[in-house]
Structure 1
Amino acid sequence: MRTWSEDHPKARLLERKQEAIKVAARALFLQHGYANTTMEMVAAQAGVSIMTLYRHFRGKDVLFQAVIQYLCSPKENKKQKMLWQEDPAEVLRRLGQLRLAYALNPDEVALYQVILGAMEHFPEVGRMYYQLNVEKVRDRLSQYFQELDQQGRLHIPDPDFSAQAFLTLLQGPLIERARLGVGPVPTKEIIEQHVDACVSFFLAAHQIKRGD
């Protein structure tokens, strides 16, 4: 497919078409699953011809991966960047609330279930989802923990392990229950209590031990 400069009208038109296709595919994949969604369904939903769809995405597997990228890669805004400059307790608390709000979103739960079903057709989609949804967050958190350790604010000798441990602690039973459809959706109060408990536990385990 021919490429254009970013400010060219054709480039903006192509971008809008790709956006419409991904929005349509997202809705169909979440509603019908990977196996039961066809390229013809996506083209009809997006209002494009099947030839146009294949010019943008050469197959359903490529389109599905683009949808995962679209859903799992929100842009970090200025407010989120400022988050890392606050007190560690507040950083972890806010991060925990954002993480759980994202993971417990019905669309995210549905996407996870669709990915499990799609892995039978191409396992690499699971690795892609893990890289975007877990590794990216863990790496940023590990960098933050390394900075805290170097500044002497907390004792975190293994930032990678501690980052993974905090994310695992956060997930707890809340996310698994949501993914399996077990029990009611946790309330805002339950989520806040869970996050506060995780943060308190983590900070207590990484306090600097001062000599007498």
Structure 2
Amino acid sequence: MSDTLSTSLSTPSNGPGRPKDQLKRQAILDAAKQLFLQQGYEGTSMDAIASAAGVSKLTVYSHFTDKETLFACAVAAKCEEQLPATYFELAADVPIEASLLAIGRGFNTLVNSDESLALQRLMTAQGGQNLQLAQLFFNAGPQRMLDAMHKLLEQACQRGQLQIDNPARAAEHFFCLIRGGCNFRLLIGLCEPLSGSAAEEHVSDVVGLFLRAYRASS
């Protein structure tokens, strides 16, 4: 991912202290998420996004350089809703189990949400036809979460809370375990998402399994 795109994903283009601009930015992101899911990436134009957001096309381009950047930012914004960056900050007074539970709950809610499922189906339907779009999606969503989890696990190892030879691989293991079999059944319409106590039990089981595998020996 380019430095320009990476900056666009993490910081608004209009600086702090401009609440009206931030409302417009959010309206553009909301419109983009809806239209990309309804009409696909190729079928969605910047004109249509501007119209749905109630802003000019110039305003869309002033916040987001091009459609690729806007798509990546929409994916990142969806991830940020359920997994804000603060979840991956390992506070000194918070047990590693609490951090993993918070991340697990957030990811479980995110990956099984209607928007996320629709986006996964959209990307799968591309079937490798647009590798650049696939890379944009992966960088903006899954890769950002994997990188954040990797850093958190490394920090936990440095503090003696966990003992992991390959934190990057362990990060993938964690998210794959949270996704579980239920997510695939959801994708093909065979079940409803886990909720309430069932969702909490699933996340707790995964965190317990993860800790049994990687908790540092006393």
Question: TM class by shorter-chain length?
Answer: 0.7 to 0.9
Which residue of the partner structure matches residue 65 of structure 1?
Answer: 72
Does structure 1 residue 93 correspond to structure 2 residue 101? Answer: yes
Which residue of the partner structure matches residue 103 of structure 1?
Answer: 111
Q: What is the CA–CA distance in structure 1 between the aligned matches of 2:205 and 2:14, rounded to whole Å?
A: 51
Q: What's the secondary structure of 1:185's corresponding residue?
A: coil
Which residue of the partner structure matches residue 8 of structure 2?
Answer: none
Q: Deviations over 1:178-206 (max 9, x none)?
A: 23322122222222121122122122222
2:144 aligns with one of 136, 151, 176: 136
Q: Percent identity?
A: 24
Structure 1 residues 40 and 120, CA gap change in structure 2 (3 angstroms): farther
Q: Number of matched residues?
A: 205
Does structure 1 residue 168 correspond to structure 2 residue 202? Answer: no
2:196 aligns with one of 188, 193, 208: 188
Does structure 1 residue 146 correspond to structure 2 residue 154? Answer: yes
Q: How far 1:57 moved relative to its partner?
A: 5.4
Structure 1 residues 58 and 158, CA gap change in structure 2 (3 angstroms): closer
1:19 aligns with one of 2, 14, 26: 26
Q: What is the CA–CA distance in structure 2 between the aligned matches of 1:168 and 1:154, rounded to whole Å?
A: 19
Which residue of the partner structure matches residue 185 of structure 2?
Answer: 177
Q: What is the CA–CA distance in structure 1 between the aligned matches of 2:159 and 2:63, rounded to whole Å?
A: 48
Task: Give 1 or 2 for the bigger CA radius of gyration.
Answer: 1
TM value normalised by structure 1: 0.75
Structure 1 residues 163 and 54, CA gap change in structure 2 (3 angstroms): closer
Which residue of the partner structure matches residue 3 of structure 2?
Answer: none
The one-letter code sitting in structure 2 at the alignment partner of 1:38 is S
Contact 1:73 1:132 in 2 (8 A): no
Structure 1 residues 84 and 192, CA gap change in structure 2 (3 angstroms): farther
The answer for unaligned runs of 5 or more in structure 2 is: 1-12
Q: CA RMSD in A?
A: 3.3
Does structure 1 residue 204 correspond to structure 2 residue 212? Answer: yes
1:124 aligns with one of 132, 136, 142: 132
Contact 1:30 1:111 in 2 (8 A): yes
TM value normalised by structure 2: 0.73
Q: How far 1:173 moved relative to its partner?
A: 1.0
Q: What is the CA–CA distance in structure 2 between the aligned matches of 1:27 and 1:151, rounded to whole Å?
A: 42
Q: Deviations over 1:61-108 (max 9, x none)?
A: 444334224333458476774667422222222221111011112122
Contact 1:33 1:117 in 2 (8 A): no
